[in-house]
Amino acid sequence: MTTYLDHAATTPMLPAAREAMVEQLAIAGNASSLHGPGRDARRTVEESREQIASALGARPSEIVFTSGGTEADNLAITGSFRSARAADARRTRIVASAVEHHAVLDPVDHAVEHEGAQATFVEPGECGTVQPSAVRAAIETDPTDVAAVSVMWANNEVGTVQDVAAMAGIAHEYGLAFHTDAVQAVGHLPVDFADSGVDLMSVSAHKLGGPIGIGALVARRDARLIALSHGGGQERGIRSGTLDVASIRAFAVALTESVERREAEAARIGALRDRFLTGTQQLDLDIRITGCWEAGDVTTRLPGNAHITIPGCEGDSMLYLLDAAGVAVSTGSACQAGIPQPSHVVLAMGRSEEEARGSLRVSFGASSTEADVETILAALPDAVGRARRASGAA
């Protein structure tokens, strides 16, 4: 039986969400149809939209359903860039943090390569924290040429939580819209769209106990976006396509439950993370904790996030060795075209390429237990020894 410790990648569906989805799958009806079954489907969508909005501190009209976080990020970055540039040709610059998920970084790169954009990437400190003052400095280089500003709420690799409210306030001083990728934050941190002051916020269901393939871009009614898909004009004309009623229903159920139990779960999962990180320091393997960590802290670092670097080890080797031992984790690196690449997040935090390549992310979630912590701690010494021998470091 596998010990699953990769909840930041995807977490198992909550039983209530799974049951709601299965029940809805048995009911026919296109939410855009005008007959009875269509109206029933629409009612389910709108009731779910209200639930989701309530859980996120937003208005129902601000919820735009997407296929997940990646589409929401693409719509926010590309849609707002194109809209700003169409209104003012001088606005060609995108300001984003250097530790964003590739769902943000890649649309920025595409805009630079194909649409005449310029990019300013704000570097973090050694903890992975992006300072609001650094965002201000990036904007003030020339506020008149900025089209979009984006900084993620919580980092997917090292778990650092950013002060997005302060950054959104700075963007607004210059009349700029602010986007945040909150995919890792929702359900694990207190997230209130209205109170945060952000204009656009990306959310994904499968990170909080809902199904894969459904998410949302929370967009203020006055947010200016150019649609990326065209067709039936669903979702305020921002995102056309037949709505996935069953997934939307399950999304609402999962989000509601995860938000209701968030505080207690954050404390429980945070304790597991702390036990694991403390345990790694007692193994005498020279394991280094990435980012800033203080036991009991579930506000400036995601409760379930534990990120480590292991000298003399390739992260990919550690992943496979632990997998063979029945423990599922992930690396902090992306693999492009079969070639392992060092984590851009760890590099941006000032670590060496060797450290970035030796990254390992262990993430705890709803199904995690104390036994899981003991299992991975017991598996680490052998895996580290074998990985170091393979790399010639031992």
> What is the tens place of the pLDDT at every residue in 152-197?
999 999 999 999 999 999 999 999 999 999 999 999 999 999 999 9
**pLDDT averaged over the chain?**
95
Q: Taking the domains of the chain in order of start, what are their residue ranges?
A: 15-259, 262-391
Domain 15-259 annotated CATH 3.40.640.10: yes
**Mean pLDDT in residue range 82-88:** 97
Task: Report helix, strand or coil for 313.
Answer: coil
Query: By mean pLDDT, which of 283-287, 312-316, 363-367 is the weakest?
Result: 312-316
How wide is the angle at C-alpha 317 spanned by C-alphas 314 and 323, nearest 5°? 140
How does pLDDT run across 248-305, given as a tens digit for each residue?
Answer: 999 999 999 999 999 999 999 999 999 999 999 999 999 999 999 999 999 999 999 9
pLDDT at 337 over 60: no
| All residues at 6 or more sequence positions from 55 whose CB lies less than 8 Å from its CB, including other chains | 255, 256, 259
CB 208 within 8 A of CB 258: yes
3-state secondary structure of 3: strand
pLDDT reading at 338 higher than 60: no
Can you give the pLDDT at residue 339? 58
| Whole-angstrom distance, CA of residue 293 vs CA of residue 281 | 13
Secondary structure string (H, E, C) spanning 334-357: CEECCEECCCHHHHHCCCCHHHHH
Q: Which residue type, as a one-letter code, is found at position 287?
A: I
Q: Name which of 314, 315, 316, 307 is nearest 288 in CA terms.
A: 307
CATH topology of domain 262-391: Aspartate Aminotransferase, domain 1 (3.90.1150)
Active-site residue, 335 included? yes
pLDDT-based confidence at residue 388 (cuts at 50, 70, 90): very high
Q: How far apart are CA 77 and CA 179, in angstroms?
A: 8
Question: Minimal CA–CA distance to 214: which of 185, 253, 178?
Answer: 253
Distance of CA 306 to the CA centre of its chain: 15
Which is the catalytic residue, given 127, 292, 313, 335? 335
Query: CA-CA distances (angstroms) from residue 255 to 13, 206, 214, 261, 350?
Result: 11, 10, 12, 10, 35
Alpha helices in the chain (DSSP H): 15-25, 36-56, 69-87, 102-114, 132-140, 164-173, 193-196, 245-260, 262-281, 315-324, 344-348, 353-357, 370-391
Contact 69, 200 (CB under 8 A): no
pLDDT in tens, 5-53: 999 999 999 999 999 999 999 999 999 999 999 999 999 999 999 999 9
Q: At CB < 8 A and 24+ separation, what contacts does 128-133 make?
A: 128/99, 128/155, 128/158, 128/159, 128/160, 128/290, 128/291, 128/292, 128/345, 128/348, 128/349, 129/160, 129/162, 129/292, 130/97, 130/99, 130/162, 130/167, 132/163, 132/166, 132/167, 132/170
Mean pLDDT score, 360-380: 98
pLDDT at 393 over 60: yes
Q: What is the pLDDT of residue 219?
A: 98
334 pLDDT above the threshold of 50:
no
In this prediction, residue 336 carries a pLDDT of 45
